[in-house]
Structure 1
Amino acid sequence: MPTKDATKPLTLTERARRAQLIGVAIDLVARHGYAGTSLARIAEAAGISKAAVLYHFPSKDAVLRAAYAAVLESLVEFVGAAVGPRTGAPALEAYIRSLVEYMRVHPDHTRMIIESLVAESGAPDGPGRQETVAGLITAAVAAGDYRAGTDARATAVIVNGAIDAIVSAGLADPSFRTADAAEQLITMLSGAYRTS
């Protein structure tokens, strides 16, 4: 089967098939890990041939990159909608709550993110996330919600580490109350940094 011509727009059927393959890849990575998700496994789970998968994506890695991008897009949209209308400390609090909530509701997406980051870099956190949180902390200081002199970078590292630990505990034990843990993190930040 020939490969899809990248210069032509996707048809409705092609978009639907790509979406199906992305969904299958997310599910397989969540269950079997990045290394355990093969092109053959993707094809079998989708009920099509490997050649049909390769028509839509040039390789297994291309499918997995598309799946990772779809998960990140969904996550950013969800968190962005929660943070968007807020400023200062409430924006940081909305970020924490919405990120933890998204990860709780979408454990397969969480595993996809973790597997992809580990497979790509061996590091569970990228500079973009740290900069985002540091920016929210800097905005909270500028709004007068957090004390002047709050170290945005160090606090961002602490917040991201705490979020990672909350999400990890939730993945390991579905009865762990991640929303309560997120509220505890917010309470700790308020106690340490709030001006009033």
Structure 2
Amino acid sequence: MSFIEKARRAQIVECAIETIAEVGYAQASLGEIAKRANISKGVISYHFANKEELLEQITFEYYMAWQAYIVPRIEAQKSPKEMLQVYIESNLVFVDENRNHVFAVIEIVSNKRTADGKRFTEDHDETILLPIENILTLGMQEGVFREFTKTSARVMASTIRNAIDGFTIKLMSKPHLDVQEYIRELVIIFEKSTKK
């Protein structure tokens, strides 16, 4: 791809993100995205085979950006307690700083189905819990966290992830919520509930 083609693809992705975040998945047709990008629908079709490919690109770019933001921050910590705190903090700061992209991905994963009827991210549900479970396991091994069985570690990881995702969804309808206060409260809740 030439520099110009890469720039055009990036522009289309950015306009698609803004469109989906603003009008929702159902209303974000290729025609609507093209209109907002001030290009023809044919230009989108030149760069993306169909709407599904464009949606996959938005989701892929989100997960890559999320991973690049979160992972180094967790790896820089010295203890499992700090890792868990930073996992919570960095997830919510990332959401706050990338609201349109996050909201667009929520719209996509909430509405899109694969050809066999599965949710778009059903296969990713498992992998998103693994970093939390790994932190909990490390915390147990180091004697910082209470004992978890495999099932109870999954329950705790799901609870942490659901608290983050739940606030993200609430932020879509109430954009003036205090993210920092929510972060502080979540850190306290999960520090107490994982403590040995």
Give the shorter-chain TM-score range: 0.7 to 0.9
Secondary structure of residue in 2 paired with 1:126: helix
The count of aligned residue pairs is 186
Q: Which runs of 5+ in 2 are unaligned?
A: 113-118
Shift of 1:20: 0.5
Partners of 1:134 and 1:115 in 2: how far apart?
Answer: 27
TM-score (norm 1): 0.86
Whole-angstrom distance in 2 between the partners of 1:122 and 1:155: 24
Is 1:54 the counterpart of 2:50 in the alignment? no
The one-letter code matched in structure 2 to 1:153 is R
TM-score by length of 2: 0.86
| Matching residue's letter, 1:138 | T
The answer as to 2:92 corresponding to 1:100 is yes
Q: Which runs of 5+ in 1 are unaligned?
A: 1-9
Structure 1 residues 39-118: aligned runs within 5 Å: 39-86=30-77, 87-118=79-110
Other structure's SS at 1:44 match: helix
CA contact (8 A) 2:58 2:105 kept: no
Report how far residue 123 of structure 1 moved: 7.5
Residue number in structure 1 paired with 2:184: 183
Task: Report the Cα distance in structure 2 between the residues aligned to 1:73 and 1:160, rounded to whole angstroms.
Answer: 18
Cα drift, residue 165 of structure 1: 2.4
**Does 2:130 align with 1:131?**
yes
State which of 11, 29, 32 in structure 1 corresponds to 2:20: 29
Cα offset, 1:122, TM superposition: 7.4
Query: Which amino acid in 2 is paired with 1:156?
Result: A
Name 1:20's counterpart in structure 2.
11
Local SS of the residue matching 1:62: helix
Q: Structure 2 CA distance, aligned partners of 1:43 and 1:166?
A: 31
**Inter-partner Cα distance in structure 2 for 1:15 and 1:149:** 47
Partner deviation per Cα, 1:72-116 (whole Å, 9 max, x = no partner): 211111111221212412111111000011111221122112112
Q: CA deviation at 1:185?
A: 1.5
